Structure 1
Amino acid sequence: MTDIIDGNAVADEIKSGLEGAIETLADAGARPGLATVLMGDDPASQTYVNMKQRDCEEVGIEGRHVDVDGDAPPERLYEQIDALNDDPDIHGYLVQDPTPDHVDYRDVIRRIAPEKDVDGFHPENVGRLVAGDARFRPCTPHGVQKLLQAYDVETEGADVTIVGRSRIVGKPLANLLVQKADDGNATVTVCHSRTEDLAEKTRNADILVAAVGVPELVDGPMVSEGTVVIDVGINRVEDDTEKGYELVGDVDFKSVKSKASLITPVPGGVGPMTRAMLLYNTVKAASVQEGVAVDLP
């Protein structure tokens, strides 16, 4: 029988576990502060930053949001980044991706102070992760690890296939899972658009992670019985509903559910964990910057 992984419940546990650390920091006069920066008026991005600010309010983190005109020159955004780098009340922040076409997101990431880069995308933080000395684990990969731990999925010695090689999920997750650590020690195969016979690779997996951004790419025949399936994708597809669309993952949930031992739904699987781990990284950043020891969940 397939069990459905409840990402909302695990995320709530993480957030509850952060409350003690947040109060410890607040009692020391160092309440954690998280800023979100949005350049432009992309509706999906606006929704994401709104949710992140609500999460801050829920757990007691000081949230701040900064809007930058989407038609402004890159220097306007860089001024805001520099100000946040220098602001002692902001322990972590992120610039919501994507930025407008005339702004190179790589330049944006490089300008963020590494110790405040709670997304974990700055080249210095990427290097530390690969070296096994991560300052911050990127939120979605770390969230996937926490889900596996919550459901007692053993990664040591497991064959893991990751479909997708993005800098946000595929590459960092592969690096985390091969680390010599209790939540690592896996044998990892990373697949992508040039992979030949993708189905052969996915059927060999004990744990299959789909993170490629293609709606329902992975279907039942591509999955072996008893596989743990983690669907990171979230895609809008046209649907005859009031909204005009539905959200689906990179996995065909209906056909794969009958084969998997555990599977994440979309929505309600990995998504809530990504936001929870952003709060986690913010609290960790505040602890380090303020020199106040806390217990993290």
Structure 2
Amino acid sequence: MEYQRVLAGDQRRIGRGIIAIILLVGGMFGMTLGAVQIAFRLDAALGLSGYTASIQVAAMLPIALLIPWSMFLQRWLYGVRAASLTSVLNVFRTAVFGKAMLVVVPLWTINLVISNLVMDNATTTWSTASLASIFLVTLLLTPLQAAGEEYGYRGLVFRIAASWAKGPRTALLIGILVSSVVFAVVHFSTDPWVNLYYVVFASTLAVITWRSGGLEIGIVIHAVNNTLGFLILLVLHADFTAANDRSNGVGSAIMLLPCTLHIALTAWVWWQTRSSGPVRTRVQRT
């Protein structure tokens, strides 16, 4: 069975799937709201203002917790072992991860450097302590935050939506569509260019997950994108609040560069699996 079809059964269980998606997204926002309130109170007690390491932790940690939360929801609502959410082999495949790193890191570094040189990032004054603390938080938590989104959206949501149809092709299309729309919606952007990027980002990573039989390559792409993106903003002394603005008018045609890169990487994965097809597994329940 292909990765996204592991939750498929004799019944479509659409209602259960919708409840699972609501619990996934609601849990993420609930944890984020609580973490942000703690960060604000901590910064107020310390006399800190602006974008701080506490706010960065509050933005990253709750999303990283989607890893165990997604696994729990899959086990609780579908009776499928948590480990299967990682890959068709029920383990994190380090060889797949390492090969992806060799390809993704140089390509994404070039992409982000060009994008940030073209974009007019607002700058602000950073203290050495703020730069150092946010640098440390970024290195420690941003890869986990990116992995959390992969487990949540290319993992659980992709599988849930793909279980709503009996035909494998229809199931795949529904899985890609639903997981991509949910991913774009939870980012609350009103800019068409930014939303285009989110949809391309999500749909290509869903295709990669399907073809590779797991989340490892998507985690590499997502983690490298987010981590390097934050680090470059730190080097430029950019205003993180302005950089995270997703309102109408902030996007531009420069977003087509990462979109093209996503499509090219997806084509590369497809080419690598052209002989074997999508990696498959048996359904394993406990």
* Shorter-normalised TM range: under 0.3
Name whichever structure is richer in helix by fraction.
2
Between structures 1 and 2, the one with greater strand share: 1
Task: Report the TM-score, using the length of structure 1 for normalisation.
Answer: 0.26
